[in-house]
Structure 1
């Protein structure tokens, strides 16, 4: 009986190891090669952020539904965005669009401090619970209208936006430090958007297009959930 139990545990751990190996392979095959980013994503179990009937698909490279009509981005997109942000260990990062909390947890492995804001109270509450369980003391989750950023905590070294705006929001641009980087999707919500990197320079802002993406729209105001 015990031997059978041990065998089942070995099978389960082997299956999990195989899924995680495929997970990392998918990241690399989509151009995520930065060693710090790969280590951060390996350290954060995406399975903790996917609940209900989709939990079994947590290690697949695909977006999945979460509460409040939102989604958890596919891991390769999280990896590409994180790599494009070029987060340093001394950086303070603002994330707009907490969602499941997965992206913020990855950023917490790389940055000194992470502030994450979402318009849905339920999502912020559930993400904060996971952050506490993981001991991520350098993440602060807040409910608010992310399109206006967090003026009281600004300026930021890095800003990551996980919802699409037609143009980079002015308040977020203003809260970026000189030399700072913002990565966000831009474009109409019903079309394929473009992921861009905005760098604040002494003369203004530089823009770089990275790849086509599709995100939920950036909506002003608070949600009802």
Structure 2
């Protein structure tokens, strides 16, 4: 596991909290196994970051990534769209529905220190895993420019799911010339983790455990 050069959080570091929403947690429409377990850790971590950005999956009804939008398709089928292969998902995180809301156990400090809530996946014809670039690899969210304007260089990531939205966000952060550090135990996966860790090693995403921050600051 590649760790950040400095394990103590600096005042100009940012915590990027990925998609901690009802539909990705227990009893949600696209629940990540044991996804709720990341919430207490994120609450504790938030106290040690002056700057936080939250992402929120925010799909319109009938989004192209939903299996229900394709005749005879089933959730988790693979299809080819204009921008390439796409996994089809159960309907989830639909705008203005309870499933799109943030997990109710997220502490108030997370929102007090959140300087931006970035909604993604709202383009009906393009899915969006990454907080930086949508799945067509051309449509940007504007997050990279925002972070550069604010002077952030090192981004710590936590949330759901480790092998999808956290993974794509971390990889795209490095490609946008940020240092990306995934707090591994503050994330949970949908599937096996090996492929994600291999990609992190290839592109230079660093990883650490929450205790490496919490033990030094609490």
- Normalization by structure 2: what TM-score? 0.29
- Larger Rg over CA atoms: 1
- Normalization by structure 1: what TM-score? 0.28
Structure with the higher helix share, 1 or 2: 1
Q: Which of the pair has the greater relative contact order for Cα pairs under 8 Å at 6+ separation?
A: 2
